[in-house]
Structure 1
Amino acid sequence: MSTEVRALEPRALWNNFADLNAVPRPSKKEERVVQFVKEFGQKLGLETIQDEIGNVIIKKPATPGMEDRKTVLIQSHVDMVHQKNADTNFDFNTQGIDMYVDGDWVKARGTTLGADNGLGVASIMTLLASTDIPHPAIEALFTVDEETGMTGALGLKGGLLKAEIMLNLDTEDDTELTIGCAGGVDINASSTYQPESVSGDVKGYKLSIKGLTGGHSGMDIHLGRGNANKLMNRLLHHATEQFGLRVGTIDGGSLRNAIPRESFAILAIPAGQEEAFKAFVQEQTQILKQEHATTDPNLVIQLDATEAPNQVLPTEIQGKLLRAIYACPNGIYRMSPDIEHLVQTSNNVARVLVQDGTSTIQCLTRSSVDSEKMDLAAAIKSALELAGATVSFSGMYPGWTPRPGAGIVQLMSDLYKEKYKGEAHVNACHAGLECGIIGANYPEMEMISFGPNIRGAHSPDEKAQISSVQKYWDFLLDTLQRIPAKV
């Protein structure tokens, strides 16, 4: 772990972040980090609770003189997205994140940094351990499994929390105050096929798409970045029609909430078509690089000779599969007609895996309008079912309806203007935040989300801005001092 990071200011926050990042914490495997957080609270002598789903709640009384203020819930999630570059040798299940300082940014070597939402967790830890920071009574909520279904927030029961105000620390721009978010649903499609032996004289090739920018499938979906699954499918579909290409395997994308950066396919090409196929790939590479020159300048499409696959998809099934993926919308489906620049509905074709007689396609559909979210999901389901897949929905979570008139929104907007001589961007976001889910059980709680500048979340390019963390931390401390008295 870099000593440079531990020397940054605010030092207590960065040291807590470094300690947290030394603990492996993949979604759905949070046992170690949950124990870490529990022991942290217990060592401080604070009331520490773990609920049935695995969330941890730590309660800290108000500092002297602030006992009359409203209790504040401060919330972040402990899990992180695990993404790494293909050439990075790293085991997320056993290794801590390898961080370093690059100018005004903290980065990780070849992997996601875990600033999403680790900086929020570290901020809460710092508040809990502090002896000189004035604050009202605090309920700290550390949720599990936010990144792969928000099951921690969904499993949180009513009655455990008494706070009247919630500060969620999971926004990634220090000029924004988020007061609403999109809901989501996972689309899972699977089918089986009987692999066929390759007939005739064929040549084997591995087609690789890599170097795409990727990113968060909610916060970055409006940027028009390339999706490796869609680009791979585009090439395979047209090459099938032109050269009689046969697919052995496809392996693209990884996580439902990350824009796919890489896809790989093992292919069989009829003998005599090799040169034409190579020319086709070269031509399409230039076209795709031109299309994505702004969003994905490091796009690489590589074709390598390899051993021909022993078995391939049956011709009819291959055709239906490629056409179904082609039909799946990807990216922005509809912009909000009510909130300027807000993506209302989108879809991310997140995962395509075809091998050993099974095909799997996974999408994450998001929308701030629940009916439109399910309508788009139904359209995608229909296309995949026409190809013979069995399709199910899972991981449904609600959006968060904005309440621009809430007291905490006005308080923090005024404070931002006073401190930074400009208007905060009060908005709703297209990502999924846990506020809407938690609000279902605590409907009277006022909620807001904010945080420091984090760029490239859900990708190995993730980085956190040091100066922004300082700004955000100062803003958080001043906010706590201004929490109003109980009515």
Structure 2
Amino acid sequence: MELSQLEPQVIWKNFAALNSVPRPSKKEEKVIAFIKSFGENLGLPTTVDEVGNVIIKKPATKGMEDRKAIVLQSHLDMVCQKNNDVNFDFETQGIQMEVDGDWVKAKGTTLGADNGLGVAAIMSVLESTDLAHPDLEALFTIDEETGMTGAIGLKPGQLKGKILLNLDTEEDDEIDIGCAGGVDVTASQTYPVAKSTGQIVKITVKGLQGGHSGMDIHKGFGNSNVILGRFLYSGLEKENIQLISIDSGSLRNAIPREGNAVFSVRNATEFIENAEELKASILEEFAAIEKDLQINIENYSTEEKAVSEEDSKKIILALKGAHNGVYRMSPDVADLVETSNNIARVELKDGALRILNLSRSSVESSKHAVADQLKSVFALAGMKVEFGGSYPGWKPKPGSEIVKLMEKIYEKDFGEKPLVVACHAGLECGIIGANYPEMEMVSFGPTIRGAHSPDEKANITSVKKFWGFLKEILADIPAK
């Protein structure tokens, strides 16, 4: 089946149009222009603010003028991840999509359903001529995935809506009323390099699932940085390890799927023999959850120079000591990860080292606690540590009028109660709410699997369910 044949056709049409436009985080010029033209071509008041957010306003349909004004919000950027064997340029190419049963996915790359389906739904409401709705403000933010700078740069007073519907969650039976905040933790240092004195070994890890570093952090997926660190640490006692290069992971908000490390050891034969034993153990550990995991350990040759044994040991110990994964579960909300860290990217080249982390928490003090723990480990290893991109969480308000309305509609339409939850991911609601404290907020969306990874896919049946739910919510918004 072709994408154009899927129902609801209006959603998939707009999603396909959006996905034809390159939209990496921090490089959204083309998609900003696309959405701006979309609003202007509809004859609707359309503005682009100082940071690049697009706001399109649409008046209430007849008979809905007395209802509370609504803000529909989604972000324009997408996470750009691809499989190593896929030749694709996210800055110039549109996403190549295909239908697979009840799912839409991309060919070897992220799909952009996060948050492209939300954007497509808002586009569909804006262009509709037969949907009942109150006064609408469509807010399309930029750079949600790598800093939330669009939401941070949104000024007070630009929006008049009383209720914000954020269309950026990934389970269609959930109504989200809270989220985690986050902070970037970056460790760096530059080391002298010289010709290595030992034999060169290369270890490559690939085939891991990856995934969302918030929503998937508790699932036990492998992390290529952690796995490489285990091999390096295992050789510290017997080998004079000198690190030459590490290239593992990519974006802060994606669990790293693949990477490699090149280094010298005193005796490559002995190291590889011991490492093969560790490899067998690791493959057994992850057999149930990482069925495609591959680890290759081999003799190697390179002209690149190495970091000293002493400095290499500091780096390896820091990687081993830095926390990765769940830091604390919430004592207040069942099964909710409160605080976590993702060791997202490790890069060592020509003696220049960078280790990128994203720490998340729904509790501000706990977010700083895990960030400070990381800082302590990296500082003990002599690294420079910087915090950046900090954003707040979103405190749940379960008794709000919009939540009660959505629960009522969901139960009537689908014959069961929705799950009213908080999520361990960064949503823009917390940031927007800081400037609009009186605005009621809720987040929901269609079912998406594998967000932030090339395995990302959107459920077709769920998109139809989500679209019907959204339309009924807009028609039933209460009076002012």
Match for residue 325 of structure 2 among 325, 331, 335:
331
Task: Give secondary structure in 2 for the equivalent of 1:376.
Answer: helix
CA–CA distance in structure 2, aligned partners of residues 171 and 483 of structure 1? 21
CA–CA distance in structure 2, aligned partners of residues 165 and 385 of structure 1? 44
**Could you report, residue by residue, the CA deviation over 1:443-468 in whole angstroms, capped at 9, with x for unpaired residues?**
11110000000000000000000000
Question: 1:95-134 to 2 correspondence within 5 Å?
Answer: 95-134=93-132
Q: Tell me by how many angstroms 1:243 deviates.
A: 2.8
Q: Which moved more, 1:235-244 or 1:256-265?
A: 235-244
Q: Tell me by how many angstroms 1:178 deviates.
A: 0.2
Match for residue 263 of structure 2 among 262, 267, 289:
267
Equivalent residue, structure 2, for 1:135: 133
Match for residue 212 of structure 1 among 208, 216, 222:
208
Match for residue 286 of structure 1 among 280, 300, 306:
280
Question: Is 1:433 paired with 2:431?
Answer: no
Task: Give secondary structure in 2 for the equivalent of 1:242.
Answer: coil
CA–CA distance in structure 2, aligned partners of residues 45 and 308 of structure 1? 61
CA–CA distance in structure 2, aligned partners of residues 198 and 426 of structure 1? 57
CA–CA distance in structure 2, aligned partners of residues 310 and 293 of structure 1? 35
CA–CA distance in structure 2, aligned partners of residues 289 and 422 of structure 1? 41
**Could you report, residue by residue, the CA deviation over 1:170-194 in whole angstroms, capped at 9, with x for unpaired residues?**
0000010000000000001110111
CA–CA distance in structure 1, aligned partners of residues 468 and 268 of structure 2? 62
Task: Give secondary structure in 2 for the equivalent of 1:241.
Answer: coil
TM norm structure 2: 0.98
1:267 and 1:308 in contact (8 A); partners too: no
Question: 1:307-386 to 2 correspondence within 5 Å?
Answer: 307-386=301-380
1:210 and 1:299 in contact (8 A); partners too: yes
Q: Tell me by how many angstroms 1:123 deviates.
A: 0.5
**Could you report, residue by residue, the CA deviation over 1:196-223 in whole angstroms, capped at 9, with x for unpaired residues?**
2122xx4333210011111000000111
Unaligned runs of 5+ in 1: none
Equivalent residue, structure 2, for 1:190: 188
AA at the equivalent of 1:275: T
CA–CA distance in structure 1, aligned partners of residues 274 and 59 of structure 2? 67
CA–CA distance in structure 2, aligned partners of residues 413 and 473 of structure 1? 16
2:241 and 2:312 in contact (8 A); partners too: no
Q: Tell me by how many angstroms 1:306 deviates.
A: 2.6
1:196 and 1:314 in contact (8 A); partners too: yes
How many residues align? The count is: 480
CA–CA distance in structure 2, aligned partners of residues 187 and 274 of structure 1? 34
Question: 1:165-180 to 2 correspondence within 5 Å?
Answer: 165-180=163-178
Equivalent residue, structure 1, for 2:68: 70
Equivalent residue, structure 2, for 1:243: 239
CA–CA distance in structure 2, aligned partners of residues 323 and 245 of structure 1? 12
CA–CA distance in structure 2, aligned partners of residues 50 and 35 of structure 1? 9
Q: Tell me by how many angstroms 1:137 deviates.
A: 1.1
CA–CA distance in structure 2, aligned partners of residues 444 and 204 of structure 1? 61
Q: Tell me by how many angstroms 1:296 deviates.
A: 1.3
Question: Is 1:463 paired with 2:461?
Answer: no
Q: Tell me by how many angstroms 1:94 deviates.
A: 0.8
Equivalent residue, structure 2, for 1:253: 249
**Could you report, residue by residue, the CA deviation over 1:231-283 in whole angstroms, capped at 9, with x for unpaired residues?**
1011011123333232210011100000011111122233xx23322222221
Using the aligned pairs only, state the percent identity.
Answer: 57
CA–CA distance in structure 2, aligned partners of residues 280 and 158 of structure 1? 60
Equivalent residue, structure 1, for 2:10: 12
CA–CA distance in structure 2, aligned partners of residues 356 and 10 of structure 1? 52
1:268 and 1:309 in contact (8 A); partners too: no
1:212 and 1:262 in contact (8 A); partners too: yes
2:306 and 2:350 in contact (8 A); partners too: no
Equivalent residue, structure 2, for 1:446: 440
Q: Tell me by how many angstroms 1:284 deviates.
A: 1.4
CA–CA distance in structure 1, aligned partners of residues 346 and 25 of structure 2? 20
Q: Tell me by how many angstroms 1:309 deviates.
A: 4.3
CA–CA distance in structure 2, aligned partners of residues 366 and 205 of structure 1? 35
Task: Give secondary structure in 2 for the equivalent of 1:142.
Answer: strand
Match for residue 36 of structure 1 among 34, 37, 41:
34
Task: Give secondary structure in 1 for the equivalent of 2:334.
Answer: coil
**Could you report, residue by residue, the CA deviation over 1:108-141 in whole angstroms, capped at 9, with x for unpaired residues?**
1110000000000000001101111111111000
CA–CA distance in structure 2, aligned partners of residues 318 and 198 of structure 1? 12
1:205 and 1:308 in contact (8 A); partners too: no
**Could you report, residue by residue, the CA deviation over 1:138-183 in whole angstroms, capped at 9, with x for unpaired residues?**
1000000000010000000000100000100000000100000000
Task: Give secondary structure in 2 for the equivalent of 1:240.
Answer: coil
1:181 and 1:430 in contact (8 A); partners too: yes
CA–CA distance in structure 2, aligned partners of residues 97 and 280 of structure 1? 43
Q: Which moved more, 1:4-13 or 1:176-185?
A: 4-13
Q: Tell me by how many angstroms 1:97 deviates.
A: 0.6
Q: CA RMSD in A?
A: 1.1
Q: Tell me by how many angstroms 1:357 deviates.
A: 1.9
AA at the equivalent of 1:280: N
AA at the equivalent of 2:102: D
Unaligned runs of 5+ in 2: none
Match for residue 396 of structure 1 among 373, 378, 390:
390
1:240 and 1:246 in contact (8 A); partners too: no
Task: Give secondary structure in 2 for the equivalent of 1:447.
Answer: strand
Task: Give secondary structure in 2 for the equivalent of 1:73.
Answer: strand
Q: Which moved more, 1:245-254 or 1:177-186?
A: 245-254
CA–CA distance in structure 1, aligned partners of residues 284 and 476 of structure 2? 52
Task: Give secondary structure in 1 for the equivalent of 2:218.
Answer: helix
AA at the equivalent of 2:7: E
